[in-house]
Structure 1
Amino acid sequence: MATVKALVLTGYGTNSHKETAYAVRQAGAGEADIVHFSDIVSGAVKLNDYQFLLFPGGFLDGDDLGAAHAAAQRWLYLKDSEEKPLLEHLNKFLDDGKLIMGICNGFQLLVKLGILPCLDNKRFERQVSLTHNLSARYEDRWVELKANPKSPCIFTQGIDLLQVPVRHGEGRIVTPDEATLDRLEQENLICLQYTNPNTSEITQEYPYNPNGSPKAIAGLTDPTGRVLGLMPHPEAFNHSTNHPHWANSNDKKTRTLGTVIFENAINYLKK
């Protein structure tokens, strides 16, 4: 594939769409169109014309009813101008082997839609959720992530440690039972975890784990590895000077931009 076309959705409270589109273009996408959700509903824009779908961060519908819950209902119950359920378009997009990424509010949407984690390949069945941080406050800070080398996630391949910012109030993974949580770990669907930057060890310690997610979960993938949802914002680290320690040339952790996640996606699609 010579040119990768990415679609970045916006509307109803999304606020990181421009950063996300910029990061995708910087990573090598030929096109990264910012499209309002209503254009998907009207049929003015077709999902099928793209290979990479991104749900960026923000506060969809003001997070009323729970983060991204109202937005999930749109996808689940609305139809397009031809009376075809939107969910059919999304299902075909996934069946065609294309990529989906949800960042922060976008991650919240993916779990509310049941696209992640998709245990037993049960798509569109809500299996986990994201709820309020244990700190009971909005967290806006830089964190260190460790990628799981055993994960099938194509977005995190070749990555060891990565420092990126978080900015969320509802980033803690919750599961219906311990068995579900254990399965996420056993099946390597946990692709990114928070670490202590002093030791680079996976941690539950606050503030290194900013929301108290069990097993330090920062990001999940599905069994195919073609869907990624993460709470941190890799698009916000698209230039070396974004990092608070950028002037310290001896700090090797500041050298890997968050855009490496997008580069992995673009390279996968090009191959």
Structure 2
Amino acid sequence: MPQVHTLVITGYGTNCEVESAHAARMAGADRVDIAHFSDLVAGRVTLADYNFLVFPGGFLDGDDLGSALAAAQRWRHAHDAQGNRLLEALRDFVTRGGLVLGICNGFQLLVKLGLLPALDGQRFDRQVSLSHNDSARYEDRWVHLRVNAASPCVFTKGIEHLYVPVRHGEGKLVARDEEVMNRLVSGNLVALQYADPETMEPTMEYPWNPNGSPLGIAGLTDPTGHILGLMPHPEAFNHPTNHPGRGRDETAPLGTVIFDNAVRYLHGK
């Protein structure tokens, strides 16, 4: 059985790397490492040694220039100790079938790098972005998510819905144009949508949709299904006691099922 080697990349402002690594270990990954972006630059860590890459949440570079934008520029222009572009290493990682998960700030990084949605295979071409919440404030609450069963996303296979927390100020999806938005829908690249808790239908109603994202879009995948970016935090619901309704005996599937699916897929199960 193939082994799953997971790398959680921290940066200048990430703060969810420990929970993300814990979720990967819970899922049965054979190796889980946490490494700073500077470790990649110095050559102490190489993407070629891994097949599961996680960009965790936080506030990269203090969200200067916009959420994760400065970090995206760093990825575009950085080289490792041998003079190789890190962007090419990331491209090779994706091309050989590695899985990539971007959570919250990690999702913001993926869209600004152009790894999502990568329509027509145009990786590193920015086609969508994530902008300020319609509420004009930071949102910290739990949300219901509807999973698109027709999506090619390997992370969400077999899941119908999730209940997980959000904590972000810039989570509203903005597409380059109407054609891009239409293709997100027609290609089933909208993997997750904010849902009304009563009907579990996608919603634009606040606070169930915490940021005003059109069509209730909470997460995107690419056409291969190997990359998932989502604003909510699945790694933050890693134990039943995390549930805000635990005192009322309320339950829900752990958000870490996202990691379970990734590890299971890479194990070839």
Unpaired runs of 5+ residues, structure 2, are none
1:88-103 paired onto structure 2 within 5 Å: 88-103=88-103
CA offsets per residue over residues 24-59 of structure 1, 9 Å max, x none? Answer: 101111121110110101111111101100000000
**Under a length normalisation based on structure 1, what TM-score does the superposition of the two structures give?**
0.97
> Corresponding residue for 2:161?
161
CA distance in 2, matches of 1:264, 1:200: 22
Alignment-mate amino acid for residue 107 of structure 1: F
Question: RMSD in angstroms over aligned alpha carbons?
Answer: 0.9
What TM-score, normalized to structure 2?
0.98
Instruction: Identify the residue that residue 177 of structure 2 maps to in structure 1.
Output: 177
State the SS of the aligned residue for 2:223: coil
Out of 171-180 and 216-225, give the one that drifted further.
171-180
Alignment length (residue pairs): 268
Deviations along 1:87-106, one digit per CA (max 9) or x if unpaired, are: 11001000111100000000
Q: Which runs of 5+ in 1 are unaligned?
A: none
Q: CA deviation at 1:4?
A: 1.1
Cα distance in 1, alignment partners of residues 31 and 91 from structure 2:
22
Residue 104 in 1 paired to residue 137 in 2?
Answer: no
State the Cα distance separating 1:8 from its structure 2 match: 0.2
Alignment of 1:59-70 (within 5 A): 59-70=59-70
- Superposed CA offset, 1:95-151 (max 9, x none): 111100000000000000000000111000000000000000000000000100000
SS of 2:165 mapped into structure 1: strand
Is the 8 Å Cα contact of residues 164 and 234 (structure 2) preserved in structure 1? yes
Question: Structure 1: which 4+ aligned runs deviate by more than 3 Å?
Answer: none
Paired with 2:228 and 2:164, the residues of 1 have a C-alpha distance of 16
State the alpha-carbon separation in 1 of the partners of residues 206 and 134 from structure 2: 9
**Pairwise CA distance, 1:200:** 1.1
Letter in 2 for 1:189: L
Partners of 2:246 and 2:263 in 1: CA distance? 26
1:263 aligned residue: 260
Quote the residue 1:244 is aligned against.
Answer: 244
Alignment of 1:44-55 (within 5 A): 44-55=44-55
Percent of residue pairs identical: 63
